[in-house]
Amino acid sequence: AKALAGGRWSSFDPSAAVRQARSRRLERDMRDALRNRQFFLRFQPQIEFASGRLLGAEALIRWNHPEFGLISPAEFIPIAESSGLICEIGRWTLFEACREAAAWPGELGVAVNVSALQFEQSDIEADVSEALSGSGLPSSRLCLELTESAFLGNGGAVIAKMCALRETGVVIALDDFGTGYSSMSYLADLPLDKLKIDQSFVRRMNANPNVLEIVRAIISLANGLKLQVVAEGVETELEADALQRLGCETGQGYLFGRPDEAIRMLSKWNAQKRL
Ligand code: C2E
Ligand code: CA
Ligand code: CA
Ligand code: CA
């Protein structure tokens, strides 16, 4: 293996052979990573634009690899999905996120990413119920973030699972909205509470009038369907102002904070409230 230092994340040689070798290596190492406590969670604040209030946070997984250092979930989650390890890792994330969030003050929520494969193949209802009862976190404070890839396979079974979860009080968000192939057709039938506007739109909305119109349409659609809207990837005041003007209530992004330890995120937002 190569020395992969420099930067926040370990980088990798883009040539296909090297990438494949690294991917096989990561897949092998991932099997022991849970047991060896190499995964941890970071939390990114979700802020109500109007009040500047902290509403909750999204849990984002990190892997501290003994040799390569920090590895991005954008790299290892796809490997976990293709190897099937995502079910075990996703279960750990769910339990860990609930355990941490149960100690947070007030009504703060926690959002957990659930892979399509995990949602389909694992007993997600049992896992959620165990994670909630074990941690004492009220169901209304847990949000599951699903992408539309969860609905590509067995639509009926997936909808049944979502309905069952929602009946227990868990919140369901459709993640990365607008980036898939047929987002619109899902909206009619899915039992959803929230839409997350993908950051690719937020990033371009102030430079490209067409993108701004798309964001406007997504927000108006969500409002019409009585879904909460969360914009991801909010980096500037300009973006936050534009989103709020368009009727989006909640934002998440570097403007408000990078993913961080829960304790630091909480103290930052408590401190700001006292100002
Ligand atoms: P996502 O669910 O769309 O999460 C948002 C990603 O955007 C996160 O990257 C976050 O750190 C990043 N981000 C947040 N605000 C900004 C911003 O203002 N600007 C920019 N440029 N980026 C921002 P991260 O943590 O690297 O995660 C990447 C993806 O990996 C996530 O995308 C999600 O699909 C997946 N992921 C992360 N944690 C988990 C997990 O526990 N389970 C599963 N299944 N997937 C996860
Ligand atoms: Ca997400
Ligand atoms: Ca996204
Ligand atoms: Ca995503």
Per DSSP, the residues of 88-156 read HHHHHHHHHHHHHHTTSSTT-EEEEE--HHHHHHS-HHHHHHHHHHHHT--GGGEEEEE-GGGGTS-HH
Per-residue confidence (pLDDT) for residue 12, from 0 to 100: 64
Evaluate the CA torsion angle 243, 248, 43, 85 in order and state its sign: negative
Percentage of the residues of the chain whose pLDDT score is greater than 90: 81
Tell me the per-residue pLDDT of 251-265, one tens digit each, with 9 for 90 and over: 999 999 999 999 999
Q: Whose CA is nearest to atom 8 of ligand 1?
A: 60
Q: Which residues pair with 146 in a beta bridge?
A: 174
Q: What is the mean pLDDT of residues 74-87?
A: 96
40, 87, 113, 143, best to mutate for ligand 1 pocket (most atoms within 8 Å of CB): 113
Lowest mean pLDDT among 92-96, 181-185, 244-248: 181-185
User: What gap in Å lies between CA 58 and CA 52, rounded to an integer?
Assistant: 17
Q: What is the mean pLDDT of residues 94-115?
A: 97
Query: Is the shortest distance between the CB of 69 and ligand 1 below 6 Å?
Result: no
Q: Return the higher-pLDDT residue of 271 and 113.
A: 113
Per-residue confidence (pLDDT) for residue 267, from 0 to 100: 94
Both structure tokens of 159? 């909808």
> What ipTM is given for this predicted complex?
0.97
User: Do residues 99 and 112 lie in contact, with contact meaning Cβ atoms separated by under 8 Å?
Assistant: no
Ligand 1 centroid to Cα of residue 113, in Å, is 9
Ligand 1 centroid to Cα of residue 60, in Å, is 6
The environment of the single-atom ion ligand 4, i.e. residues with CB closer than 5 A, is 176
CA Rg value for the chain? 19
Q: What is the mean pLDDT of residues 172-181?
A: 88
For the CA of 80, the closest atom of ligand 1 is 44
User: Do residues 79 and 31 lie in contact, with contact meaning Cβ atoms separated by under 8 Å?
Assistant: no
The environment of the single-atom ion ligand 2, i.e. residues with CB closer than 5 A, is 113, 145, 175
Ligand 2 centroid to Cα of residue 58, in Å, is 7
Tell me the per-residue pLDDT of 10-64, one tens digit each, with 9 for 90 and over: 666 678 888 889 999 999 999 999 999 999 999 999 999 999 999 999 999 999 9
